[in-house]
A and B are shown apart, each in its own frame.
Chain A
Amino acid sequence: MVIAEIKPLEEIKELVKGYKKILNTGCGGCTSVCLAGGQKEVDTLNTKLTLSFQADHVPFEIDGFTVERQCEVQFITEFDRLVKSRKYDAILSMACGAGVQFLAERYPETPVFPAVNSTFVGVNKDIGWYEERCKCCGDCVLGFTGGICPVSMCAKGLFNGPCGGPQGESCEVSKDIPCAWVAIYKRLKGQNRLESIRTIHAPRQWRDQIQGRIILEPYKARYVKSE
Protein backbone atom coordinates (compact mmCIF):
# COMPACT_ATOMS: atom_id res chain seq x y z
CA MET A 1 0.00 0.00 0.00
CA VAL A 2 0.95 3.65 -0.24
CA ILE A 3 2.70 4.72 2.93
CA ALA A 4 2.29 8.32 3.99
CA GLU A 5 3.42 10.47 6.85
CA ILE A 6 1.55 13.36 8.36
CA LYS A 7 3.13 16.75 7.66
CA PRO A 8 4.42 18.84 10.54
CA LEU A 9 1.65 20.95 12.06
CA GLU A 10 3.49 24.20 11.27
CA GLU A 11 3.62 23.31 7.58
CA ILE A 12 -0.08 22.50 7.46
CA LYS A 13 -0.85 25.75 9.26
CA GLU A 14 1.23 27.62 6.72
CA LEU A 15 -0.70 25.96 3.88
CA VAL A 16 -4.15 26.82 5.17
CA LYS A 17 -3.28 30.21 6.59
CA GLY A 18 -5.80 32.82 5.53
CA TYR A 19 -8.59 30.36 4.83
CA LYS A 20 -11.34 30.64 7.37
CA LYS A 21 -13.51 27.67 6.62
CA ILE A 22 -11.93 24.39 5.78
CA LEU A 23 -12.96 20.82 5.11
CA ASN A 24 -10.43 18.20 6.19
CA THR A 25 -10.94 15.00 4.27
CA GLY A 26 -9.75 11.60 5.45
CA CYS A 27 -9.17 8.51 3.38
CA GLY A 28 -10.20 5.03 4.49
CA GLY A 29 -7.66 3.43 2.19
CA CYS A 30 -3.90 3.25 2.50
CA THR A 31 -3.32 6.36 4.59
CA SER A 32 -5.84 5.09 7.11
CA VAL A 33 -4.12 1.74 7.36
CA CYS A 34 -0.72 3.37 7.90
CA LEU A 35 -2.13 5.62 10.63
CA ALA A 36 -1.46 8.81 8.69
CA GLY A 37 -4.74 10.02 7.25
CA GLY A 38 -7.71 8.11 8.60
CA GLN A 39 -10.68 9.44 10.48
CA LYS A 40 -8.80 9.50 13.77
CA GLU A 41 -6.00 11.57 12.25
CA VAL A 42 -8.57 13.92 10.74
CA ASP A 43 -10.17 14.45 14.15
CA THR A 44 -6.85 14.93 15.89
CA LEU A 45 -5.50 17.32 13.28
CA ASN A 46 -8.70 19.35 13.36
CA THR A 47 -8.50 19.73 17.11
CA LYS A 48 -4.87 20.78 16.89
CA LEU A 49 -5.48 23.30 14.13
CA THR A 50 -8.49 24.75 15.90
CA LEU A 51 -6.64 25.15 19.20
CA SER A 52 -3.57 26.49 17.47
CA PHE A 53 -5.39 29.14 15.45
CA GLN A 54 -7.45 29.99 18.52
CA ALA A 55 -4.24 30.71 20.39
CA ASP A 56 -3.16 32.94 17.51
CA HIS A 57 -6.56 34.73 17.64
CA VAL A 58 -7.24 33.81 14.02
CA PRO A 59 -10.82 33.02 13.03
CA PHE A 60 -10.87 29.42 11.88
CA GLU A 61 -13.47 26.77 11.31
CA ILE A 62 -12.80 23.21 10.24
CA ASP A 63 -14.96 20.18 9.52
CA GLY A 64 -13.82 16.62 9.08
CA PHE A 65 -15.18 13.90 6.84
CA THR A 66 -13.67 10.60 5.88
CA VAL A 67 -14.62 8.43 2.93
CA GLU A 68 -13.69 4.93 1.83
CA ARG A 69 -11.02 5.99 -0.65
CA GLN A 70 -10.17 9.29 -2.27
CA CYS A 71 -8.86 7.64 -5.41
CA GLU A 72 -12.31 6.68 -6.67
CA VAL A 73 -15.00 8.99 -7.98
CA GLN A 74 -17.88 7.15 -6.39
CA PHE A 75 -16.41 7.80 -2.96
CA ILE A 76 -15.25 11.39 -3.35
CA THR A 77 -18.70 12.39 -4.57
CA GLU A 78 -19.64 11.89 -0.92
CA PHE A 79 -18.01 15.27 -0.34
CA ASP A 80 -20.22 17.03 -2.92
CA ARG A 81 -23.10 17.70 -0.61
CA LEU A 82 -20.86 19.08 2.12
CA VAL A 83 -18.77 21.17 -0.23
CA LYS A 84 -21.88 22.64 -1.84
CA SER A 85 -23.80 23.40 1.31
CA ARG A 86 -20.96 24.54 3.54
CA LYS A 87 -19.06 26.59 0.95
CA TYR A 88 -15.54 25.90 2.16
CA ASP A 89 -12.66 28.28 1.44
CA ALA A 90 -10.25 25.39 1.12
CA ILE A 91 -9.98 21.63 1.42
CA LEU A 92 -7.28 19.66 3.24
CA SER A 93 -6.76 16.10 2.15
CA MET A 94 -5.17 13.40 4.25
CA ALA A 95 -5.07 10.96 1.33
CA CYS A 96 -2.01 10.15 -0.74
CA GLY A 97 -0.99 12.43 -3.61
CA ALA A 98 -3.44 10.64 -5.91
CA GLY A 99 -6.35 11.43 -3.63
CA VAL A 100 -5.32 15.06 -3.21
CA GLN A 101 -5.22 15.54 -6.97
CA PHE A 102 -8.49 13.74 -7.52
CA LEU A 103 -10.17 16.09 -5.05
CA ALA A 104 -8.52 19.12 -6.62
CA GLU A 105 -9.82 17.94 -9.98
CA ARG A 106 -13.34 17.52 -8.68
CA TYR A 107 -13.44 20.92 -6.96
CA PRO A 108 -11.35 23.07 -9.32
CA GLU A 109 -12.51 26.32 -7.76
CA THR A 110 -11.45 25.39 -4.26
CA PRO A 111 -7.81 25.21 -3.22
CA VAL A 112 -6.95 21.66 -2.10
CA PHE A 113 -3.94 21.15 0.17
CA PRO A 114 -2.12 17.99 1.20
CA ALA A 115 -1.82 17.23 4.91
CA VAL A 116 0.38 14.16 4.49
CA ASN A 117 3.52 13.33 2.55
CA SER A 118 3.10 10.22 0.43
CA THR A 119 6.42 8.48 0.75
CA PHE A 120 6.50 5.03 -0.77
CA VAL A 121 4.75 1.80 -1.58
CA GLY A 122 5.61 -0.48 1.24
CA VAL A 123 4.71 -3.15 3.69
CA ASN A 124 3.48 -3.14 7.25
CA LYS A 125 6.47 -4.64 9.05
CA ASP A 126 4.84 -4.26 12.43
CA ILE A 127 2.43 -1.88 14.10
CA GLY A 128 3.70 1.59 13.21
CA TRP A 129 6.69 0.32 11.20
CA TYR A 130 6.59 0.47 7.43
CA GLU A 131 9.22 -0.33 4.86
CA GLU A 132 9.54 0.47 1.21
CA ARG A 133 9.29 -2.41 -1.21
CA CYS A 134 8.23 -0.96 -4.55
CA LYS A 135 9.02 2.08 -6.66
CA CYS A 136 6.17 1.47 -9.10
CA CYS A 137 8.71 1.54 -11.92
CA GLY A 138 6.25 -0.06 -14.27
CA ASP A 139 8.40 -2.97 -15.44
CA CYS A 140 8.77 -5.56 -12.72
CA VAL A 141 12.04 -7.46 -12.55
CA LEU A 142 11.28 -9.48 -9.41
CA GLY A 143 11.11 -12.58 -11.57
CA PHE A 144 14.85 -12.66 -12.15
CA THR A 145 15.92 -11.13 -8.85
CA GLY A 146 14.59 -13.78 -6.52
CA GLY A 147 11.66 -11.69 -5.32
CA ILE A 148 13.88 -8.88 -4.02
CA CYS A 149 13.43 -5.56 -5.80
CA PRO A 150 16.71 -3.96 -6.90
CA VAL A 151 14.92 -0.79 -7.97
CA SER A 152 13.67 0.01 -4.48
CA MET A 153 16.00 -2.00 -2.24
CA CYS A 154 19.37 -1.27 -3.89
CA ALA A 155 20.56 2.27 -3.13
CA LYS A 156 21.72 2.60 -6.73
CA GLY A 157 18.86 0.70 -8.31
CA LEU A 158 21.27 -1.53 -10.21
CA PHE A 159 20.05 -4.25 -12.57
CA ASN A 160 23.40 -6.01 -12.79
CA GLY A 161 24.56 -5.74 -9.23
CA PRO A 162 26.13 -5.91 -6.78
CA CYS A 163 28.42 -2.91 -7.06
CA GLY A 164 31.81 -2.97 -5.43
CA GLY A 165 30.57 -1.25 -2.32
CA PRO A 166 28.95 -3.73 0.07
CA GLN A 167 30.48 -3.76 3.52
CA GLY A 168 29.96 -7.30 4.58
CA GLU A 169 26.32 -7.87 3.78
CA SER A 170 25.38 -4.23 4.24
CA CYS A 171 24.89 -1.57 1.63
CA GLU A 172 27.68 0.96 1.22
CA VAL A 173 25.38 3.78 2.28
CA SER A 174 24.64 2.37 5.73
CA LYS A 175 25.46 -0.67 7.73
CA ASP A 176 21.81 -0.71 8.78
CA ILE A 177 20.61 -1.45 5.26
CA PRO A 178 21.19 -4.91 3.89
CA CYS A 179 22.73 -5.01 0.41
CA ALA A 180 19.87 -5.98 -1.89
CA TRP A 181 22.19 -7.70 -4.34
CA VAL A 182 23.91 -9.81 -1.71
CA ALA A 183 20.42 -10.90 -0.67
CA ILE A 184 19.42 -11.54 -4.29
CA TYR A 185 22.56 -13.60 -4.84
CA LYS A 186 21.95 -15.66 -1.74
CA ARG A 187 18.30 -16.31 -2.47
CA LEU A 188 18.92 -17.30 -6.08
CA LYS A 189 21.84 -19.50 -5.05
CA GLY A 190 19.57 -21.23 -2.56
CA GLN A 191 17.02 -21.80 -5.31
CA ASN A 192 19.68 -22.92 -7.75
CA ARG A 193 18.73 -20.08 -10.07
CA LEU A 194 22.00 -18.11 -10.27
CA GLU A 195 21.74 -18.33 -14.05
CA SER A 196 19.19 -15.55 -14.02
CA ILE A 197 21.75 -13.00 -12.79
CA ARG A 198 24.72 -14.37 -14.70
CA THR A 199 23.24 -13.02 -17.87
CA ILE A 200 23.39 -9.31 -18.61
CA HIS A 201 20.18 -7.42 -18.23
CA ALA A 202 19.95 -4.73 -20.86
CA PRO A 203 19.13 -1.08 -20.14
CA ARG A 204 15.48 -1.05 -19.38
CA GLN A 205 12.73 0.87 -20.99
CA TRP A 206 11.53 2.94 -18.05
CA ARG A 207 7.78 3.25 -17.92
CA ASP A 208 7.51 5.69 -15.06
CA GLN A 209 8.69 8.69 -17.10
CA ILE A 210 5.29 10.01 -18.05
CA GLN A 211 1.96 9.84 -16.29
CA GLY A 212 1.03 6.21 -15.93
CA ARG A 213 -2.16 4.88 -17.38
CA ILE A 214 -3.50 1.36 -17.43
CA ILE A 215 -6.58 0.24 -19.26
CA LEU A 216 -7.30 -3.41 -18.80
CA GLU A 217 -7.61 -5.47 -21.96
CA PRO A 218 -11.35 -6.19 -21.64
CA TYR A 219 -12.03 -2.47 -21.25
CA LYS A 220 -9.94 -1.27 -24.17
CA ALA A 221 -12.86 -1.19 -26.57
CA ARG A 222 -14.66 0.98 -24.10
CA TYR A 223 -12.01 3.62 -23.51
CA VAL A 224 -9.26 3.54 -26.08
CA LYS A 225 -9.39 6.13 -28.84
CA SER A 226 -9.26 4.49 -32.24
CA GLU A 227 -6.56 5.93 -34.42
Chain B
Amino acid sequence: MYDFVRGPLFWASAIICIAGLIYRSVKLLRLTQKKEIVLCPVTISPKDKPAPAISAEERKLDRIARFQNSVIGQHPVMVAVSTVFHVCLFASPLLLLAHNVMLSSAIGIRLPAIPDGLADLMTIFVLAGAFFFLIRRIAVPKVAAISSAYDYGVLFLTLMPFLTGFLAYHQLFHYKSVLTLHILTGDILLIALPFTKIGHMVFFFFSRLHIAGEYCLGRGSRTWNT
Protein backbone atom coordinates (compact mmCIF):
# COMPACT_ATOMS: atom_id res chain seq x y z
CA MET B 1 0.00 0.00 0.00
CA TYR B 2 2.71 2.45 1.02
CA ASP B 3 4.69 1.74 -2.09
CA PHE B 4 1.66 2.10 -4.28
CA VAL B 5 0.56 5.48 -2.93
CA ARG B 6 4.15 6.69 -2.98
CA GLY B 7 4.94 5.37 -6.39
CA PRO B 8 2.43 4.95 -9.18
CA LEU B 9 -0.44 6.73 -7.48
CA PHE B 10 1.70 9.74 -6.68
CA TRP B 11 2.99 10.05 -10.21
CA ALA B 12 -0.46 9.53 -11.62
CA SER B 13 -1.98 12.16 -9.38
CA ALA B 14 0.86 14.61 -10.02
CA ILE B 15 0.36 14.25 -13.75
CA ILE B 16 -3.41 14.51 -13.41
CA CYS B 17 -2.98 17.60 -11.28
CA ILE B 18 -0.64 19.39 -13.67
CA ALA B 19 -2.57 18.32 -16.76
CA GLY B 20 -5.83 19.34 -15.07
CA LEU B 21 -4.51 22.77 -14.18
CA ILE B 22 -3.28 23.28 -17.73
CA TYR B 23 -6.65 22.12 -19.01
CA ARG B 24 -8.44 24.60 -16.75
CA SER B 25 -6.19 27.43 -17.85
CA VAL B 26 -6.60 26.66 -21.53
CA LYS B 27 -10.34 26.40 -21.09
CA LEU B 28 -10.48 29.80 -19.42
CA LEU B 29 -8.35 31.24 -22.20
CA ARG B 30 -10.71 29.84 -24.76
CA LEU B 31 -13.79 31.08 -22.94
CA THR B 32 -12.41 34.58 -23.10
CA GLN B 33 -11.01 36.78 -25.78
CA LYS B 34 -8.63 39.66 -26.05
CA LYS B 35 -10.32 42.92 -25.34
CA GLU B 36 -9.41 45.84 -27.47
CA ILE B 37 -9.03 48.88 -25.27
CA VAL B 38 -10.28 51.84 -27.28
CA LEU B 39 -8.58 55.10 -26.45
CA CYS B 40 -10.66 58.23 -26.24
CA PRO B 41 -9.81 61.85 -25.45
CA VAL B 42 -10.71 62.86 -21.93
CA THR B 43 -11.94 66.33 -22.80
CA ILE B 44 -13.91 66.88 -25.94
CA SER B 45 -13.73 70.63 -26.12
CA PRO B 46 -10.34 72.23 -26.63
CA LYS B 47 -11.60 75.14 -24.54
CA ASP B 48 -12.54 72.97 -21.59
CA LYS B 49 -10.40 73.96 -18.67
CA PRO B 50 -8.37 70.99 -17.51
CA ALA B 51 -9.75 69.60 -14.28
CA PRO B 52 -8.03 71.20 -11.30
CA ALA B 53 -5.14 69.05 -10.17
CA ILE B 54 -6.04 66.88 -7.19
CA SER B 55 -3.95 67.92 -4.24
CA ALA B 56 -1.50 65.50 -2.70
CA GLU B 57 -3.51 65.74 0.47
CA GLU B 58 -6.70 64.66 -1.26
CA ARG B 59 -4.89 61.85 -3.00
CA LYS B 60 -3.74 60.63 0.35
CA LEU B 61 -7.26 60.89 1.74
CA ASP B 62 -8.51 58.97 -1.26
CA ARG B 63 -5.97 56.22 -0.75
CA ILE B 64 -6.86 55.90 2.92
CA ALA B 65 -10.59 55.88 2.19
CA ARG B 66 -10.20 53.28 -0.52
CA PHE B 67 -8.07 51.12 1.68
CA GLN B 68 -10.37 51.39 4.68
CA ASN B 69 -13.37 50.42 2.58
CA SER B 70 -11.62 47.66 0.68
CA VAL B 71 -11.94 44.05 1.70
CA ILE B 72 -8.65 44.34 3.60
CA GLY B 73 -9.88 47.31 5.59
CA GLN B 74 -13.27 45.75 6.19
CA HIS B 75 -12.24 42.19 6.97
CA PRO B 76 -8.60 42.40 8.09
CA VAL B 77 -8.69 39.16 10.08
CA MET B 78 -10.24 37.15 7.31
CA VAL B 79 -7.83 38.54 4.73
CA ALA B 80 -4.81 38.00 6.98
CA VAL B 81 -5.80 34.46 7.87
CA SER B 82 -6.55 33.48 4.29
CA THR B 83 -3.36 35.03 3.00
CA VAL B 84 -1.23 33.19 5.55
CA PHE B 85 -3.27 30.03 4.99
CA HIS B 86 -2.79 30.11 1.22
CA VAL B 87 0.90 30.98 1.36
CA CYS B 88 1.59 28.18 3.81
CA LEU B 89 -0.66 25.82 1.89
CA PHE B 90 1.60 26.17 -1.12
CA ALA B 91 4.95 26.82 0.44
CA SER B 92 5.12 24.12 3.08
CA PRO B 93 4.61 21.05 0.85
CA LEU B 94 6.65 22.48 -2.02
CA LEU B 95 9.59 23.62 0.08
CA LEU B 96 9.65 20.82 2.64
CA LEU B 97 13.11 19.25 2.77
CA ALA B 98 11.83 15.67 2.89
CA HIS B 99 9.61 16.23 -0.17
CA ASN B 100 12.48 17.75 -2.10
CA VAL B 101 14.90 14.97 -1.22
CA MET B 102 12.45 12.47 -2.66
CA LEU B 103 11.80 14.63 -5.69
CA SER B 104 15.51 15.02 -6.28
CA SER B 105 16.21 11.30 -6.07
CA ALA B 106 13.32 10.58 -8.42
CA ILE B 107 13.73 13.15 -11.17
CA GLY B 108 16.83 15.05 -10.18
CA ILE B 109 15.31 18.46 -9.67
CA ARG B 110 14.60 20.14 -6.41
CA LEU B 111 13.33 23.39 -5.06
CA PRO B 112 15.09 25.32 -2.29
CA ALA B 113 14.17 23.77 1.01
CA ILE B 114 13.17 25.46 4.23
CA PRO B 115 14.12 24.32 7.73
CA ASP B 116 11.84 21.65 9.12
CA GLY B 117 10.90 23.84 12.06
CA LEU B 118 9.56 26.51 9.74
CA ALA B 119 7.69 23.95 7.68
CA ASP B 120 6.18 22.63 10.86
CA LEU B 121 5.09 26.10 11.85
CA MET B 122 3.58 26.63 8.42
CA THR B 123 1.66 23.40 8.76
CA ILE B 124 0.31 24.61 12.06
CA PHE B 125 -0.77 27.82 10.32
CA VAL B 126 -2.57 25.81 7.66
CA LEU B 127 -4.32 23.74 10.30
CA ALA B 128 -5.19 26.82 12.30
CA GLY B 129 -6.48 28.53 9.17
CA ALA B 130 -8.58 25.52 8.28
CA PHE B 131 -9.97 25.51 11.81
CA PHE B 132 -10.76 29.21 11.50
CA PHE B 133 -12.60 28.58 8.24
CA LEU B 134 -14.47 25.69 9.79
CA ILE B 135 -15.63 27.75 12.75
CA ARG B 136 -16.58 30.56 10.40
CA ARG B 137 -18.63 28.19 8.28
CA ILE B 138 -20.50 26.94 11.30
CA ALA B 139 -20.84 30.07 13.38
CA VAL B 140 -21.12 33.04 11.03
CA PRO B 141 -24.68 33.15 9.68
CA LYS B 142 -23.84 34.55 6.24
CA VAL B 143 -21.20 31.87 5.68
CA ALA B 144 -23.40 29.14 7.12
CA ALA B 145 -26.14 30.19 4.72
CA ILE B 146 -24.06 29.24 1.69
CA SER B 147 -22.10 26.32 3.13
CA SER B 148 -22.92 22.89 1.79
CA ALA B 149 -21.52 19.45 2.53
CA TYR B 150 -19.31 19.98 -0.49
CA ASP B 151 -17.69 23.00 1.14
CA TYR B 152 -16.99 21.03 4.30
CA GLY B 153 -15.74 18.13 2.21
CA VAL B 154 -13.28 20.27 0.30
CA LEU B 155 -12.06 21.83 3.53
CA PHE B 156 -11.55 18.36 4.93
CA LEU B 157 -9.78 17.25 1.77
CA THR B 158 -7.40 20.20 1.98
CA LEU B 159 -6.77 19.78 5.66
CA MET B 160 -6.07 16.03 5.73
CA PRO B 161 -2.59 15.89 4.12
CA PHE B 162 -1.44 18.62 6.48
CA LEU B 163 -2.92 17.01 9.54
CA THR B 164 -1.40 13.63 8.69
CA GLY B 165 1.87 15.26 7.69
CA PHE B 166 2.00 17.02 11.02
CA LEU B 167 1.28 13.75 12.88
CA ALA B 168 3.86 11.88 10.83
CA TYR B 169 6.54 14.50 11.40
CA HIS B 170 5.97 14.37 15.13
CA GLN B 171 5.77 10.56 14.97
CA LEU B 172 2.42 10.45 16.70
CA PHE B 173 0.32 7.31 16.35
CA HIS B 174 1.52 4.48 14.13
CA TYR B 175 4.11 6.16 11.92
CA LYS B 176 3.89 4.00 8.85
CA SER B 177 0.08 4.06 8.73
CA VAL B 178 -0.02 7.81 9.30
CA LEU B 179 2.58 8.32 6.59
CA THR B 180 0.67 6.14 4.16
CA LEU B 181 -2.46 8.07 4.97
CA HIS B 182 -0.53 11.30 4.50
CA ILE B 183 0.63 10.35 1.04
CA LEU B 184 -2.77 8.95 0.10
CA THR B 185 -4.64 12.07 1.13
CA GLY B 186 -1.97 14.18 -0.56
CA ASP B 187 -2.48 12.23 -3.78
CA ILE B 188 -6.23 12.65 -3.53
CA LEU B 189 -5.82 16.39 -2.97
CA LEU B 190 -3.59 16.63 -6.04
CA ILE B 191 -6.19 14.87 -8.14
CA ALA B 192 -9.00 16.97 -6.70
CA LEU B 193 -7.15 20.23 -7.20
CA PRO B 194 -8.15 21.02 -10.78
CA PHE B 195 -11.57 19.42 -10.66
CA THR B 196 -13.12 20.85 -7.54
CA LYS B 197 -13.69 24.39 -6.36
CA ILE B 198 -10.05 24.42 -5.29
CA GLY B 199 -9.60 25.28 -8.95
CA HIS B 200 -10.39 28.85 -7.87
CA MET B 201 -6.62 29.23 -7.73
CA VAL B 202 -6.53 29.29 -11.54
CA PHE B 203 -9.68 31.34 -11.81
CA PHE B 204 -8.40 33.95 -9.36
CA PHE B 205 -5.25 34.76 -11.28
CA PHE B 206 -7.11 34.71 -14.52
CA SER B 207 -10.13 36.74 -13.57
CA ARG B 208 -8.78 39.30 -11.14
CA LEU B 209 -5.75 40.08 -13.24
CA HIS B 210 -7.01 39.87 -16.78
CA ILE B 211 -10.75 40.29 -17.06
CA ALA B 212 -11.87 43.89 -17.26
CA GLY B 213 -14.12 44.96 -14.44
CA GLU B 214 -14.51 47.29 -11.50
CA TYR B 215 -12.30 45.15 -9.26
CA CYS B 216 -9.75 44.11 -11.85
CA LEU B 217 -6.22 44.36 -10.45
CA GLY B 218 -4.48 44.18 -13.81
CA ARG B 219 -5.00 45.92 -17.12
CA GLY B 220 -8.23 44.13 -17.90
CA SER B 221 -7.10 43.06 -21.32
CA ARG B 222 -9.53 40.18 -21.71
CA THR B 223 -13.25 39.72 -21.69
CA TRP B 224 -15.69 36.80 -21.70
CA ASN B 225 -16.74 35.57 -25.09
CA THR B 226 -20.42 36.28 -24.73
Tell me the A residues contacting B by CB distance below 8 Å: 8-10, 35, 40, 43-45, 47-48, 51-52, 125-129, 173-174, 176-177
Give bound CA distance, A173 to B52, whole Å: 23
Chain B interface residue count: which class? 20 to 34
Whether B40 sits at the interface, judged by CB under 8 Å, is yes
Q: A43-B69, A127-B220 are in contact. Are A174 and B61 (CB under 8 A)?
A: no
Residue in B64, B65, B68 with the greatest tally of chain A CB atoms within 10 Å: B65
The 9 sampled A-B contact pairs (Cβ below 8 Å) are A47-B64, A47-B65, A48-B61, A48-B65, A52-B61, A126-B38, A127-B213, A174-B46, A176-B41
Whether B66 sits at the interface, judged by CB under 8 Å, is yes
> Are B40 and A129 in contact, CB atoms less than 8 angstroms apart?
yes
Residues of A within 8 A of B113 (CB): none
Give bound CA distance, A138 to B62, whole Å: 40
Give bound CA distance, A12 to B106, whole Å: 67
Q: A44-B66, A44-B69, A47-B68 are in contact. Are A177 and B44 (CB under 8 A)?
A: yes
Tell me the B residues contacting A by CB distance below 8 Å: 37-38, 40-41, 44-46, 52, 58, 61-62, 64-66, 68-69, 212-214, 216, 220
> Are B41 and A35 in contact, CB atoms less than 8 angstroms apart?
no
Give bound CA distance, A102 to B117, whole Å: 64
Nearest-CB distance from A142 to chain B (Å)?
22
Give bound CA distance, A43 to B65, whole Å: 8
Give bound CA distance, A47 to B70, whole Å: 12
> Are B44 and A174 in contact, CB atoms less than 8 angstroms apart?
yes
Residues of A within 8 A of B62 (CB): 44, 48
Give bound CA distance, A8 to B216, whole Å: 25
> Are B214 and A47 in contact, CB atoms less than 8 angstroms apart?
no
Q: Taking CB as reference atom, which chain A residue is nearest B68?
A: A47
Nearest-CB distance from B100 to chain A (Å)?
44
Residues of B within 8 A of A176 (CB): 40-41, 44
Q: A43-B69, A51-B65 are in contact. Are A126 and B45 (CB under 8 A)?
A: no
